Amino acid sequence: MSLSSPRPHTARAGFARLAFERSGPHTVVRTALAHSPLRLLTPRNHGHAAWAYTSSFGGGLVDGDHLHLDVDVAPGATAWLSSQGANRVYRSPSGCRSDVVARVGEDALLAFVPDPTACFTGARYAQTFDFQLAPGASLVFADIVTAGRSASGERWAFDHYASTLKVSLGGRALVDERWLLEPGHGALVERLGRFEAMASVLLVGAALADARAALHARVTALPVTPRADLVPSASPLGTHGLLLRAAAVSVEALVRTTRDWLAFLPPLLGDDPWARRV
């Protein structure tokens, strides 16, 4: 898709609904409904999990866009949800936003790992993620925000970026946080310095207990070195979850790191969603 700015047009409101359910040993997509500019792709794979990818007409978000994705993962189902490409946010004086609400049933697993978000010069963007997990449900979530079009001299040049993450497990809040990056609180280029991207990776649920323990031990054992290219951290969320953070001087390196952290996922899905995108 072209990185050039799209021609101005009226704001768009897109809604999409996805529902996954268990059918014998496999998970199937029961519902895949999308209204423009949102699109849904549900490719076949060789595993027992069902896959879905989001996309949007026009190659990114423009001023006034408001997208909403509603997801249901039925009890016992396993779902992989990603995006067809980077989430590009163009200049948007009035702002644009994207909201995701997902309900994950008992003994179900949702892996939501979209491509990075890149906000360009003058962009105003807000996103929310609301994950409601039943007892026994599991969630893998990864989110990366980049500096923008650094090769064109646009580093952290957007006007507003807000990201809200809410996760409840069995009706009790596990995560409720909001990131806010805004030049009014201090020049972003100076505040973020040499870093080109930041990532959050969240693992919740009993099915991921071994993966959480291994990742926590691995990240906390890393040495602290001055001017490191990657600065990670790991924060346990009681006995139910693990929240990993990282900042990196390279977007590509951070993407590789998050995929390496999630190397346990393909066996849980029965197929490797990244193998076709190398």
What is the reported pLDDT for 132?
98
Contact 29, 19 (CB under 8 A): yes
* pLDDT digit string, tens, across residues 122-156: 999 999 999 999 999 999 999 999 999 988 888 99
Examine residue 4 and state whether it is found in any structural domain, yes or no. Answer: no
* pLDDT digit string, tens, across residues 216-258: 999 999 998 999 999 999 999 999 999 999 999 999 999 999 9
* pLDDT digit string, tens, across residues 71-123: 999 999 999 999 999 999 999 999 999 999 999 999 999 999 999 999 999 99
| Helix ranges (DSSP H) in the chain | 188-192, 209-220, 251-261, 265-269
Examine residue 3 and state whether it is found in any structural domain, yes or no. Answer: no
Examine residue 209 and state whether it is found in any structural domain, yes or no. Answer: yes
Contact 52, 29 (CB under 8 A): yes
Place of tokens 């644009």: 96
What is the reported pLDDT for 277?
59
Q: Tell me 61's DSSP state.
A: B
**Would you say residue 8 has pLDDT above 70?**
no
Q: Which residues in the chain belong to E strands, given as ranges?
A: 13-23, 26-34, 38-41, 50-56, 66-73, 78-83, 87-89, 96-104, 109-112, 117-119, 124-133, 138-146, 160-169, 172-181, 197-204, 230-237, 241-248
Examine residue 2 and state whether it is found in any structural domain, yes or no. Answer: no
Per-residue pLDDT averaged across 155-161, rounded? Answer: 96
Q: Which residue has better confidence, 257 or 14?
A: 257
Instruction: Give me 222's structure tokens.
Output: 């890393």
**Would you say residue 28 has pLDDT above 90?**
yes
The whole-angstrom separation of Cα 260 and Cα 172 is 30
Examine residue 222 and state whether it is found in any structural domain, yes or no. Answer: yes
* pLDDT digit string, tens, across residues 46-68: 999 999 999 987 778 999 999 99
Contacts of 147 (CB under 8 A, 6+ apart): 154, 155, 156, 192, 195, 196, 197, 251
Examine residue 5 and state whether it is found in any structural domain, yes or no. Answer: no
**Would you say residue 4 has pLDDT above 50?**
no
Examine residue 216 and state whether it is found in any structural domain, yes or no. Answer: yes
**Residue 10 banded pLDDT, cuts 50, 70, 90:** low
**Structural domain range at position 18:** 13-277
The whole-angstrom separation of Cα 21 and Cα 101 is 17
What is the reported pLDDT for 71?
98
Query: What is the number of domains present in the chain?
Result: 1
* pLDDT digit string, tens, across residues 173-224: 999 999 999 999 999 999 999 999 999 999 999 999 999 999 999 999 999 8
Instruction: Give me 196's structure tokens.
Output: 């080109």
Examine residue 1 and state whether it is found in any structural domain, yes or no. Answer: no
* Percentage, residues of the chain above pLDDT 90: 88
Per-residue pLDDT averaged across 150-170, rounded? Answer: 95
| Burial (CB count <10 Å: 0-12, 13-18, 19+), residue 126 | middle
pTM exceeding 0.85 = yes
For the chain, what is the mean pLDDT?
93
